[in-house]
Amino acid sequence: MSAATANTNLPRRIIKETQRLLSEPAPGISASPSEENLRYFNVMILGPSQSPYEGGVFKLELFLPEEYPMAAPKVRFLTKIYHPNIDKLGRICLDILKDKWSPALQIRTVLLSIQALLSAPNPDDPLAENIAKHWKTNEQEAVETAREWTRLYASGA
Amino acid sequence: MESEDEMQDAWAGTSDGEFVNEEEDEESDALASDDDNDESDYGFDYSNVDDLHPSSRLPQTNFTILSEKDIRQRQDEAVSTITNFLSISPADAGVLLRHFKWSVSKVNDEWFADEERVRASVGLLEKPATSKRQTQTEMTCEICFEVHPFEKMRAPRCGHYFCETCWTGYIHTAINDGPGCLTLRCADPSCGSAIGEDMVLSLVSTDDQQKYMRYLLRSYVEDNRKQVKWCPAPGCEYAVEFQPGVGSYDLVCKCGFNFCWNCREEAHRPVDCETVNKWILKNCAESENMNWILANSKPCPKCKRPIEKNQGCMHITCTPPCKFEFCWLCLGAWTDHGERTGGFYACNRYETAKQEGVYDEAERRREMAKNSLERYTHYYERWATNESSRAKALADLQDMQNVQIEKLSVTQCQPVSQLKFVTDAWLQIVECRRVLKWTYAYGYYLPENEHTKRQFFEYSQGEAEAGLERLHQCAEKDLLTFLGGTPTSSFNDFRTKLAGLTSVTKTYFENLVRALENNLSDVDIPKAAAKSSSSSKASGSSKGRGGRPKVGSSKSGGSSRSGEESTHWSCEHCTYANTTAASSIVCVICNHARS
Ligand SMILES: [Zn+2]
Ligand SMILES: [Zn+2]
Ligand SMILES: [Zn+2]
Ligand SMILES: [Zn+2]
Ligand SMILES: [Zn+2]
Ligand SMILES: [Zn+2]
Ligand SMILES: [Zn+2]
């Protein structure tokens, strides 16, 4: 009840986006708004196949700031992940979340881009320095570590 | 406007008058020497006298002071030129000019070399708008997901329609993000169409319009830093345009601020920009605050604005409009990284530097300790004292011009025009304090092992400083006795003394400025010239002690000091040329006994 009143002046865009996310979810992605705050989403992304994150279930949080869609959503991994573009606080180095944001992008596009980032780590634009270095010097070993972390932390409990 | 002009007039003295005002000095001061003679007096070979002559007619001619109105006018002219030349809309012309940093010729050259490429890079591609949409009466906006009547939808030339409210929000966000709004592109993430001035202004609030116009005005200066810069004085709205030429970088803005065009610090002649900037940095580095900034922010290697590292990546993108992408560790271009640095994202230059110890913290601290704090404190104190002394003198000068001269004119029954020597003295003091201040920064960086240079430097600085102290004291203390009382006959003596000291001090400082600008390279000459009338230097006449003024020799007009010995004697202490008639035992200026 209180949640409903707090969110009464939710922009139509957010309501529509939420409805679509729930009714036609993108494969491997789920996003549902929190009951207390309809701008806060609990997100799950399945590790893409052919990637070291395959078989993992990764939890993220996504928040739509007051300025959304003029400003980008804020997204962060809650599940520990070994990835050169994601740091230990779960922050993500992704251009569309920073200077390449456009109001014509949506929650869905953001989440798809994050999923794509799991398939294609980019150690040339690193956020986690050590992991990126590991990736560049010994990719096989780094991938193995990523697999192990997936088993340890993202086994979907 | 009027007050600005007045300010400017009040300051005209400092601008041209620092060391320069030969004519005026000669008028008001019969003792003033001929500058041309002075040059050879010093015994230096000034083959390029115009370059070296101190403040020689401050090269105002190389600088144009621009008001906001002037800048707007130039922008309008540029836009209309491009509009006519290329037969495009003024808004498109604006887009082109901003892209090419307001250079009309660059726009022309690039456009006629390859119009298509230019259009693509600035976002002026002519794409046919999707005609299907224009036939609709209603459309769904892809940003707010609302259905709007077609007339509420707007699109740039690319035909990406969004509703007016969403465009307004989009542009508002960009304007509040900073000057990057001047190169705003279409809201569709896959599109690069430019959003021109016309579209921006037609959609946003008056407040945003003003901000946008402000950025637009500023871009003329800030995108064009090699030719135009803002006056750095707080609150000053003038910009300065620079036309390369000979002469120093010092200039005087219409607001009265005297600064160096090159580094935008306060005018620091004769010390070079590098030394000044090192010194200022050094002063800052002493404070805790600066240490934090050094650790957490670096200047963008392209535009020099400080960039704070607030994200984890080493890949830094400078804020618009610069957008330069660089490596935080080595400040090198990002494009030079990755594959080209050995397949390593990690920066090799940084790694190498680390190995060589350049970035070693312990090393840095050892270095700091070596530069003994005491030595620094010595120079800093003197630098700072001269600065506060200069500020005080400036206030005194203004008081003199606004109040005291009037008073003095009444008490001494003198026309104001006859009291110019007082303000001249104060102008000289202000300027000398400024020069003296900077010589301490110079001295700090003059290597300890350059003994001869140091000796000469300290000698010249000491002479100048002593002269200035006498002048300052005379202008401050002696004047007091004449302000309150009744007309006194000794006022004429005071006039002679103050004018004499002004002239003597001026010469000392000219010599000091010249010596420092020459990097003390003629270090051996004044010594050889001292007390010797037959210098072996081919540079010409070297009369009397090097660098000493030939004050008061106008009567004899001879070119050689020896001919004057009978009627004049030069004071050992202050160099004033006393007439033997007036005094043969004690110097009239400094009261030192004749040796
Ligand atoms: Zn809309
Ligand atoms: Zn577009
Ligand atoms: Zn100014
Ligand atoms: Zn400078
Ligand atoms: Zn920059
Ligand atoms: Zn680097
Ligand atoms: Zn004397």
List, for residues B533-580, the tens digit of each pLDDT value.
333 333 333 333 333 333 333 333 333 444 444 577 777 766 667 777
Task: Judge whether A93 counts as a catalytic residue.
Answer: yes
Under 8 Å between Cβ of B97 and B111: no
pLDDT tens digits, one per residue of B294-353: 455 667 778 777 777 655 556 778 887 788 888 766 677 877 765 554 444 445 454 555
pLDDT at position B310 is: 56
**ipTM entry:** 0.84
The closest alpha carbon to B524, from B429, B470, B467, B456, belongs to B456
Nearest CA-CA distance, residue B402 and chain A, Å = 55
Please tell me the predicted confidence (pLDDT) of residue A151: 95
Kindly report, as residue ranges, where domains of CATH 1.20.120.1750 are found in chain B: 284-349+376-520
Give the confidence band of B29 by pLDDT, cuts at 50, 70, 90: very low
Separation CA B114–CA B338 (nearest Å): 32
**Domains, chain A, with CATH or none:** 12-154 (3.10.110.10)
Assess A121–B contact: CB distance below 8 Å, yes or no.
no
Q: Residue B50 pLDDT more than 70?
A: no
Which residues, other chains included, contact B425 with Cβ-Cβ below 8 Å and sequence gap of 6+? B471, B474, B475, B498, B499, B501, B502
Q: How far is the CA of B322 from the centre of ligand 6 (A)?
A: 19
Alpha-helix residue ranges (DSSP H) falling in B195-251: 197-203, 206-222
Which residue bears the tokens 């969004």? B162
**Structure confidence at residue A85 (pLDDT):** 92
Cβ–Cβ of A102/B187 closer than 8 Å? yes
Mean per-residue pLDDT over chain B, rounded: 75
Give the Å distance between the CA of B180 and the centre of ligand 1. 22
CB atoms closer than 10 angstroms to residue B123: 22
Give the nearest chain A residue to B188 (CA atoms): A104
Report the range out of B1-5, B432-436, B522-526 with the highest average pLDDT.
B432-436
- Which residues have C-beta within 8 Å of that of residue B198, sequence separation ≥ 6? B89, B90, B91
Q: In 10 A of CB A115, how many CB atoms?
A: 20
Residue B401 or B547, more confident: B401
Write out pLDDT tens, residues B199-246: 999 999 999 999 999 999 999 999 887 889 999 998 999 999 988 777
pLDDT tens for B302-311 read 877 777 765 5
What integer pLDDT is reported at residue B115 of this predicted model? Answer: 94
Q: Can you list the residues of chain A whose pLDDT is less than 50?
A: 1-6
pLDDT for B137 equals 86
pLDDT of B373 > 90? The answer is no
Candidates A87, A104, A124; nearest CB to B312: A87
Question: What is the DSSP annotation of B132-195?
Answer: HHHT-SEEE-TTT--EEEGGGEE--TT---EEHHHHHHHHHHHHHH-GGGGG-B-SSTT---B-
Q: Give pLDDT tens digits for B99-137.
A: 999 999 999 999 999 999 999 999 998 765 554 555 678
| A86: contact with B, CB 8 A cutoff | no
Chain A contact set for B189 (CB, 8 A): 96, 100, 102, 104-105
Q: Topology of domain B284-349+376-520, per CATH?
A: Four Helix Bundle (Hemerythrin (Met), subunit A) (1.20.120)
Average the pLDDT over B156-163 and give the result: 92
pLDDT the model gives residue B337: 64
Question: Does B484 score more than 80 pLDDT?
Answer: no
Distance from CA of B319 to the nearest CA of A (A): 9
Outline which parts of chain B fall under CATH 3.30.40.10. Answer: 71-224
| The predicted structure's pLDDT at residue B186 | 95
Which residues sit opposite A31 in a β-bridge?
A43
What are the backbone dihedrals phi and psi of residue B329, each rounded to the nearest 5 degrees, phi first?
Answer: -75, -45
Nearest alpha carbon to residue A48 among A110, A116, A108:
A116
Q: Which residue has the higher pLDDT, B219 or B52?
A: B219
The span from the CA of B454 to the CA of B460, in Å, is 10
Q: Cβ of A87 and B170 within 8 Å? A: no
Q: How many angstroms is it from B68 CA to the middle of ligand 5?
A: 24
Q: Catalytic residue, from A21, A62, A86, A93: name it.
A: A93
Confidence band, pLDDT 50/70/90 cuts, at residue B581? low
Which pair of tokens denotes residue B44? 């230096």
Question: In 3-state terms, what secondary structure has residue B579?
Answer: strand
CATH 3.40.50.300 fits B71-224, yes or no: no
